[in-house]
Amino acid sequence: MARFKRYPLTEGALKELQGDIEKLFGSLPEISANVCEKLTKHAEEDFNLFVSAATPGRQAVISTETQFEKHGKYGNVGRLTATGKTEDTGFNILMAVEFGAGIIAASQHNPSFNMGMGTGTWPGQTHAFDPNGWLYPSDDLDDDGNPIPKRTYGTPATMPMHRTILDTKANLTRYAAEELYKWLNT
């Protein structure tokens, strides 16, 4: 099919237009599946990039999983799931990276506050507004082989998942246009 096609106002041309439109509608399930699959992969790449930028030099164990499913004739679902290593203390590193933790995050405007989340809002937190911070075991060992505790005052909110969602939405039309362009030129 040509990229641009002109249809004169004749009965034969209008039937050809109708046939081309029917072919397009017949291809929509494949086109929408391709768009959704590309967006899902894009979201995972974005998230991993945003997380690595948010945690330079830190040990954040965060894993991602993507799923792509057809949902009816035209619908598709792409899902990105991120999980952070939850320590025995119940502290979830992914929550700290996304929404910030401690006095550092509490002292700045955090967009997550607008969503009812952020520093001091999840259950079980104990140091959200503690000016003395808290100690955590590090990989550094003293002469006896015991972990040397390090002090932290928290982390700022970097919101990698939120940023991933915004970027994925921004790229939706680009991927849809690419897939329609490919279809038009086949």
Report the 3 state secondary structure along the chain: CCCCCCCCCCHHHHHHHHHHHHHHHHHHHHHHHHHHHHHHHHHHHHHHHHHHHHCCCCCCCEEEEEEEEEECCCEEEEEEEEEECECCCCCEHHHHHHHCEHHHHHCCCCHHHHHCCCCCCCCCCCCCCCCCCEEEEEEEECCCCCEEEEEECCECCCCHHHHHHHHHHHHHHHHHHHHHHHHHCC
Contact predicate 185/1, CB 8 Å: yes
Q: Which residue has the higher pLDDT, 60 or 17?
A: 17
Measured over the CA atoms of residue 56, residue 91, residue 85 and residue 105, the dihedral's sign is negative
> Does residue 82 carry a pLDDT above 80?
yes
Q: Which residue has the higher pLDDT, 134 or 44?
A: 44
Q: Which residue has the higher pLDDT, 110 or 170?
A: 170
Backbone φ, ψ for residue 175 (5° rounding): -65, -40
The per-residue pLDDT for 143 is 93
Give me the mean pLDDT over the 79-90 stretch: 71
What's the predicted TM-score (pTM) here?
Answer: 0.69
Give 95-130 pLDDT, tens digit per residue.
Answer: 778 877 777 766 666 676 776 676 776 666 777 778
Partners of 147 in the β-ladder:
141
